[in-house]
Amino acid sequence: MRPAVTRVAAVDCGTNSLRLLVADGEDGVLRDVERSMTIVRLGQDVDRTGRLAPQALERTRLALAAYAGRIAELDVDAVRMVATSATRDAANRSEFEAMVLATLGVEPEVIGGREEAELSFAGAVSGLPGVREPVLVTDIGGGSTEVVLGSSDGVLAALSVDVGCVRLTERHLRDDPPSPDQVGAAEADIRAAIAAIRRSVPVEQARTFVGLAGSVTTVAALALELPAYDAERIHRSVIPVGRVRSVTSGLLTMSRERRAALPVMHPGRVDVIGGGALVLRVLMDALEIDEVTVSEHDILDGIALGLAAR
C-alpha cells in the first residue's frame, strides 16, 4: 500500500524518441521508479511528406506495447501520454491517435508548442534547485526547439520554433559528413528561428541558461570527455560555449562511423546529433551566452509532476 503516494506514468512521444517515466509523487516531489527511452524516429520524413510513415508508426507501436506492459506490472495509478512536433505536423495524426489508444489504453494528447515549453520548464527547474533566476530553458528536440523564460513564480514567456535535430538533418545535412554549404543552410534556418525567439521571449533577462534533451546531454558528455554516458555526471554540469563550439565542429566534420564509435553516443542519435549540436551552438552564439547548465530533467518530468499533482 502507498497511501500518501501517487504512482504515475508519463510518456513523451517526440520526433525522434519515445520515453517513459514511472515515478512516485508526493508533496510535489518525484521519486523515479523507472525511466526508459527508445529511438523510434516517428518524425521520419514528416518535414518532406507531411505524414507519419507506416514504418515509423509501427516502430512506435512496438515500443509503446512494451511500455504498456511495464506500466501494468508497476501498478500505476495514472497515465498521461503527450505527443509533440512530428504529430502536430502530420496530416494522418488520427492514425497515430487510434494506434496509441489501442496499444496503451489512453488517448495521446497532441500538445501545442506553448504547453510543450511550459512542461519542459517545469521538469527542468524541478531538477535544478537554487539556480539564479530568471532561467532561460531550451529543449532541443527532433522536430522543434522550445525556449521558455521563467522563474519559481512561473513562466514569463515561451516560444516553440520548427528547428530540431531530425528536421534539420533531413532538410539540409544529407551528406556524410555534411558539406559547408549544407551546414550554412541549416544555420540560416536556426538564425531565422532565433529572430522569432527574440521577438517573443525577453532572453536578455535570463541569469541562467539551461539546456535539455538528448542533443544537449550528448554534447555535454562529449565536452566532459566521459568514457561512457553517465547521467549523474551530466546532470547539473556547466559547459562553456567554447567547448560547445569545439564539440559541434567535431561532430559536423567526422563521418558517421566515427560518430557511432564515440563511447557516449546512443545509436539512435548518430545520424542527427550534428543538427542538434548546431542548434545549441548557434543559439548560444547568437544570444551571447557564455555557458549552459545541463539538465537530465525535462518535459517527461513536467508531465509526471502535473499528473501527480492532480
CATH number at residue 220: 3.30.420.150
pLDDT reading at 3 higher than 50:
no
| pLDDT score, position 105 | 93
Band (pLDDT 50/70/90 cuts) for residue 298 is confident
- The 10s digit of each residue's pLDDT in 177-223 is 999 999 999 999 999 999 999 999 999 999 999 999 889 999 999 99
Who wins on pLDDT, 309 or 135?
135
pLDDT reading at 2 higher than 50:
no
| pLDDT score, position 172 | 96
Who wins on pLDDT, 87 or 172?
172
pLDDT reading at 75 higher than 70:
yes
Q: Which domain holds residue 219?
A: 128-294
Instruction: Judge if 84 and 188 occupy the same domain.
Output: no
Band (pLDDT 50/70/90 cuts) for residue 4 is low
| pLDDT score, position 177 | 94
> Could you tell me if residue 215 is inside a domain?
yes
Average pLDDT over residues 171-178: 94
Instruction: Judge if 168 and 36 occupy the same domain.
Output: no
pLDDT reading at 37 higher than 70:
yes
Instruction: Judge if 98 and 154 occupy the same domain.
Output: no
| pLDDT score, position 24 | 93
- Residues near 4 by Cβ (< 8 Å), separated by ≥ 6? 26
Instruction: Judge if 88 and 227 occupy the same domain.
Output: no
- The 10s digit of each residue's pLDDT in 242-271 is 999 999 999 999 999 999 999 999 998 999
Who wins on pLDDT, 152 or 67?
67
Average pLDDT over residues 115-129: 84
Instruction: Judge if 202 and 285 occupy the same domain.
Output: yes
Instruction: Judge if 151 and 193 occupy the same domain.
Output: yes
> Could you tell me if residue 123 is inside a domain?
no
CA dihedral 132, 243, 141, 177 (to 10 degrees): 170
Instruction: Judge if 268 and 305 occupy the same domain.
Output: no
Work out the mean pLDDT of the chain and round it to a whole number. Answer: 91
pLDDT reading at 63 higher than 60:
yes
| pLDDT score, position 262 | 97
> Could you tell me if residue 45 is inside a domain?
yes
Give the rounded percent of residues in the chain with a pLDDT score beyond 70: 98
| pLDDT score, position 192 | 96
> Could you tell me if residue 1 is inside a domain?
no
Instruction: Judge if 146 and 95 occupy the same domain.
Output: no
| pLDDT score, position 118 | 86
Q: Which of these ranges, 2-6, 113-117, 163-167, 219-223, has the smallest mean pLDDT? A: 2-6
Instruction: Judge if 135 and 266 occupy the same domain.
Output: yes
Instruction: Judge if 28 and 66 occupy the same domain.
Output: yes
What is the total count of domains within the chain? Answer: 2
